[in-house]
Structure formats: C-alpha cells, structure tokens
Amino acid sequence: MRGQEKSSQHFVSFALTKKMTHWQNYLKPKTLDEAMDAFANAPRPIIPIAGGTDLLLDLEQGRHSPVQTLLDVTSIRELTLLEQRGDELFIGAAIPVNRVALDPLPVRHAEALTEACDLIAGPQVRNVATLGGNVAHALPAADGTIALLALDAQAEIIALSGATSDNEERRRSGVARKIPFKDLFLGPGKSSLKHGEELIVGFYLPLSTSHQASCFKRIMRPQGVALPILNCAVWLERENNTIKDIRIAVGPSGGTPFRATQAEDTLRGKSLSIKLIESATEALLAQTQFRTSARRASADYRQHIVSGLFEDTLESAWERAG
Ligand SMILES: Cc1cc2nc3c(=O)[nH]c(=O)nc-3n(C[C@H](O)[C@H](O)[C@H](O)COP(=O)(O)OP(=O)(O)OC[C@H]3O[C@@H](n4cnc5c(N)ncnc54)[C@H](O)[C@@H]3O)c2cc1C
C-alpha cells in the first residue's frame, strides 16, 4: 500500500489499494468537529464524499482531478437527521434519497421532494445517493435540487472559520450559517461551497399548512443515464379558487437551477383557468434558456415539450392543495 495509514482520536483513515491514483486517504469523521479537524489538518486537496455516485465516476473518468483525501460525511450525526424543528422540516445532507422518498415527514410536507427522490436512478443508487450530494454536484436539472428550489429550502452550511496558525484553534472552529438555497449555485457543476472548508449540513423547509401542496414531474428517456430531459416542480398555496402564492422550478434552464418567476407572477392572485395556464406558459417560455445537451435533448425539443410538463405539474399541485 502506497497511501498513508493514519489514525487519531478524531478520525479513522485508511488507504485503499485499488484507487490509489484517485485518492490517498479516506477519512470517516463521526462529528462535525472531527470533520473540521480533517479540513484543518488532513493532506490537501481534500473533498467530501457521501454516496459517491457522482464523485467516484468523476474521479474515475477524469472529470475531477485526483485528490489527496476523501472525507466521508455519511457517519456525521448532524448530517443524518430528519426531523421537525419548530415550524421547519430539517433534512440532513447525508440522508440517502430513498429515505427522503419514504419518510412520513417529507411525504406530508414536501411531496415534490419525495416524488423527485423516488425518481432518481434505480433502487441501488437511491440507497446510497444523498440529497446533499445531489445538490452539491450543482447540476441545473438534478431532481432533488429542482424540488428543493420550488419548496423554498434554505441550506445550512458549516465552514472552517478563519485561518489561524494554531491548528488546535482551527480544529474547534466550525461556524454554521443558513443561506438561501439558490445561493449555493454558481454555474453548471460549480457550487459556491469553498473547497476543503465547507460542508452542507442539511436543508430547512417550511412545513406545509392546509391548502399548500407541491408536485414534481419529469420527462426522461427510459435508457437515460442519469439526469432527466426536463423536470418541473411546483409549490402553491390555494385560497378557494385563487392561487395565493406559487413557486415554479424547471431544469435544466440556464447554468444554475431556475425559478420561473415570470410565470409565478402571472399566476399569483388569479383563478386557475385554461387561459391563465396559457399565459403562464408564455411567460415561462419567455424566461427559460434551454440548452442542447449532447446525450439528452436539444434546446428546441425542450422548448416544445415544456408546456405539457408544466401544465401537468401545476394542475396536480392545484388539485392537491384543494
Ligand atoms: C446510474 C445513475 C443514475 C442517476 N440518476 C439520477 C437521476 O435520475 N436524477 C438525478 O438527479 N441524479 C441522478 N444520478 C446522480 C446521483 O445519483 C445524484 O446526484 C446523487 O444524489 C449524488 O449524491 P452522492 O451522495 O452520491 O454524492 P457524491 O457522489 O458522494 O458527491 C457529489 C458531490 O457532492 C459533494 N458533497 C457530497 N456531500 C456533500 C456535503 N454534505 N457537503 C458538501 N459537499 C458534498 C462531493 O464532494 C461531490 O462534489 C444518477 C447517478 C447514477 C450513477
């Protein structure tokens, strides 16, 4: 074995013989303090890994440069909690998407998210792929990401606080903060997280009250490798026959996860009708910036099919909120 073999009271490290060209150390902290300790002291570059369903392929296929240290976040307790906190739902970043799809809390308060998580890949992948990894990979059509955007999520981030020459000090200085979900994204595959310094702890979602509901749908080729051709999530609040408030997310449009704010403005405060849906679809088409993806669909095709997907998703959310 060429890799370093280390152990400390804070983390376990072991070298893996098969993947020596991609990483040298594999750390599995159990607490956020231990994770911050690793960020402060482990050999760099250091990168978090959860289910590995995106990252391992990227490393093996050369889309990610080799790293010295992989930091496995799946045993950190705070990242594996799923619970109600006051009037919010907290979903830990390292929770596999199959658990999100089945847990009664998101089923009740975040239908769009459970539907998205239930459609990701197949059962084997869903058992290990995490919601945090889906988001941190920063793709504008990731299913969990599009649902969280429509659900007005906030992300909790923990960061190694300001650099200091005293490692003991750095080890204890993780600072947590909540940020609006959309602030996580800079471009396709590019999150705003600081490399080797920040982790997503989890996501906060407002709890649903009566007459609020959401829905997620997507269009995907049966033989599709990973991401859908198009996906859409709608959250809305209904007051009798009127849309009191609404949020619409569509992926992929542009380089970051996209909110169809013009369609939202068209629908807000109005009664749902065929004519209104047509106007909202026009507003959505005017704002979307579909791109051509080599393996999935052309921009023209996406432009052509988005109306039906949007209408279906909107009507389902409307009926659920009734
Ligand atoms: C066969 C197959 C089918 C798929 N189908 C779909 C699909 O239908 N829809 C879809 O949306 N995706 C799909 N995916 C993509 C993938 O499964 C998801 O994006 C998955 O949720 C990523 O989570 P992970 O835990 O595996 O992340 P990893 O691969 O472990 O990590 C991904 C990225 O996130 C970072 N990261 C992970 N956790 C954290 C954290 N807590 N804080 C900060 N950074 C973190 C890593 O450093 C890395 O950059 C598919 C993948 C495969 C292999």
State the SS3 of 258-299: EECHHHHHHHCCCECCHHHHHHHHHHHHHHCCCCCECCCECH
Q: What is the pLDDT of residue 294?
A: 81
Q: Please give the average per-residue pLDDT across 198-204, as a whole number.
A: 98
Provide the pLDDT confidence category of residue 174 given band limits of 50, 70 and 90.
confident
Nearest-atom number in ligand 1 for the CA of 64 is: 49
Q: Count CA atoms within 13 Å of residue 273 on its CB side.
A: 6
- Which of 23, 53, 293 has most ligand 1 atoms within 8 Å of its beta carbon, as the pocket-test mutant? 53
Provide the pLDDT confidence category of residue 3 given band limits of 50, 70 and 90.
very low
Q: CB–CB of 203/156 below 8 Å?
A: yes
How confident is the prediction for the chain on average, in pLDDT?
90
By the 10 Å C-beta count (0-12 exposed, 13-18 middle, 19+ buried), 19 is classed as middle
Report the distance separating Cα 304 and Cα 290, nearest Å.
10
Provide the pLDDT confidence category of residue 21 given band limits of 50, 70 and 90.
confident
Report the distance separating Cα 190 and Cα 17, nearest Å.
30
Q: CB–CB of 257/251 below 8 Å?
A: yes
In a domain, 217, yes or no: yes
Within 10 Å of residue 239's Cβ, how many Cβ atoms?
A: 11
Q: What is the pLDDT of residue 18?
A: 44
- Which of 22, 27, 54 has most ligand 1 atoms within 8 Å of its beta carbon, as the pocket-test mutant? 54
**CATH number for the domain harbouring residue 29:** 3.30.43
Q: CB–CB of 298/306 below 8 Å?
A: no
Of 156, 180, 206, which closes a domain? 206
Q: CB–CB of 132/94 below 8 Å?
A: yes
Q: Please give the average per-residue pLDDT across 55-72, as a whole number.
A: 94
Whether the per-residue pLDDT at 171 is higher than 60: the answer is no
Helices (H), 189-273: 261-267
Higher pLDDT, 56 or 5: 56
93 lines ligand 1 (CB under 6 A): yes
Question: Bridge partners of 71?
Answer: 27, 48
> Which residue type sits at 14?
F
Positive or negative, the Cα torsion across 143, 114, 134, 61?
negative
67 lines ligand 1 (CB under 6 A): no
Q: What is the pLDDT of residue 17?
A: 46
Whether the per-residue pLDDT at 272 is higher than 90: the answer is yes
Provide the pLDDT confidence category of residue 163 given band limits of 50, 70 and 90.
very low
Report the distance separating Cα 101 and Cα 107, nearest Å.
7
Nearest-atom number in ligand 1 for the CA of 58 is: 29
Within 10 Å of residue 145's Cβ, how many Cβ atoms?
A: 27
Whether the per-residue pLDDT at 173 is higher than 90: the answer is no
| Same domain as 81, residue 68 | no
Single pTM value for the model = 0.92
| Same domain as 217, residue 198 | no
110 lines ligand 1 (CB under 6 A): no
| Same domain as 93, residue 35 | no
In a domain, 186, yes or no: yes
Provide the pLDDT confidence category of residue 13 given band limits of 50, 70 and 90.
very low
In a domain, 89, yes or no: yes
Q: What is the pLDDT of residue 161?
A: 79
Q: What is the pLDDT of residue 221?
A: 78
Q: What is the pLDDT of residue 10?
A: 40
Q: What is the pLDDT of residue 28?
A: 98
| Same domain as 201, residue 216 | no
Q: How many Å lie between the centroid of ligand 1 and the Cα of residue 204?
A: 19
Q: How many Å lie between the centroid of ligand 1 and the Cα of residue 242?
A: 38
142 lines ligand 1 (CB under 6 A): yes
Q: What is the pLDDT of residue 223?
A: 54
Task: Decide the pairing of beta strands 69-72 and 46-49.
Answer: parallel
Q: How far apart are the first and last CA of the chain?
A: 62
| Same domain as 235, residue 132 | no
Provide the pLDDT confidence category of residue 20 given band limits of 50, 70 and 90.
low
- Domain residue limits at 66: 13-72
Q: What is the pLDDT of residue 159?
A: 94
Q: How many Å lie between the centroid of ligand 1 and the Cα of residue 56?
A: 10
| Same domain as 169, residue 90 | yes
| Same domain as 192, residue 94 | yes
In a domain, 253, yes or no: yes
Q: How many Å lie between the centroid of ligand 1 and the Cα of residue 202?
A: 14
pLDDT digits (tens, 9 = 90+) for 287-301: 999 989 888 899 999
Number of compact structural domains in the chain: 3
Q: Please give the average per-residue pLDDT across 256-273, as a whole number.
A: 98
151 lines ligand 1 (CB under 6 A): no
| Same domain as 194, residue 145 | yes
Q: CB–CB of 291/303 below 8 Å?
A: no
In a domain, 306, yes or no: yes
Least confident of 9-18, 51-60, 162-171, 210-219: 9-18
| DSSP conformation class of 9 | S
202 lines ligand 1 (CB under 6 A): no
257 lines ligand 1 (CB under 6 A): no
Report the distance separating Cα 115 and Cα 216, nearest Å.
6
The residues, ordered by sequence, that sit 6+ positions from 15 with a Cβ below 8 Å of its Cβ are 1, 2, 3, 4, 5, 24, 25, 26
Nearest-atom number in ligand 1 for the CA of 126 is: 17
200 lines ligand 1 (CB under 6 A): yes
pLDDT digits (tens, 9 = 90+) for 119-136: 999 999 999 999 999 999
Q: How many Å lie between the centroid of ligand 1 and the Cα of residue 211?
A: 33
249 lines ligand 1 (CB under 6 A): no
Q: How many Å lie between the centroid of ligand 1 and the Cα of residue 24?
A: 21
Of 174, 206, 238, which closes a domain? 206
